Structure 1
Amino acid sequence: MEQVKEITTEELKKRLEQNEELELVDVREDEEVEEGIIPGAKHIRMNDIPAHIDAFDKDKEYIFICRSGRRSENVCYYLQEQGYKVRNMVGGMLEWEGETTKK
């Protein structure tokens, strides 16, 4: 199985500060997201990803986010196998030092 590409929280923060247009998807549970989400991120719970697969565009790269980076990595493997371009935010929200917003 091909390794999933990664992005660090620091790299992501820099890219957002440069106003890059990124496709961010937060796969945590509702109650986790209520504590704060990266501005601009879409919220699709991990278990709902298969039902929403048609919402993803194979021409775009998606950055997946969870609490620690483990669930988002699983989502990345799943979508990568379906032919999508994905990247996992390593360290997850536990290491995120950038802005967050309340839903």
Structure 2
Amino acid sequence: MILYGLKTCDTCRKALKSLPDAEFRDVRADGVPGEVLESAHARFGASLLNTRSTTWRGLSEAERAGDPLSLLAAHPTLMKRPLIVDGGEMHLGWGRDVQAALLG
């Protein structure tokens, strides 16, 4: 299980604490592999982008209208967090539904 997030993100820390066996990858330092981003975008669509982030608010209208995958490649902190890859399954965020699916 791989958890993509930010080491400074409180939600990512909570998820990592609850999933001690997960491998953590900081999206700011390590990025997210292109194939993982493509799969996540195919699964979650527009909800993969965190449109409430400071990074999003700093983008121009033209940048916001661009390809989401290109935006995420250029600004990995725009990704909603955490993105959890567990074998063939993907989970986005750390809501009750994700916790129930992963913790039982």
- Alignment TM-score, normalising by the size of structure 1: 0.31
Q: Normalising to structure 2: TM-score of the pair?
A: 0.31
Q: Which structure features the higher share of strand residues?
A: 1
Q: Which has the higher contact order (CA 8 A, sep 6+)?
A: 1
Bigger fraction of residues in helix: 2
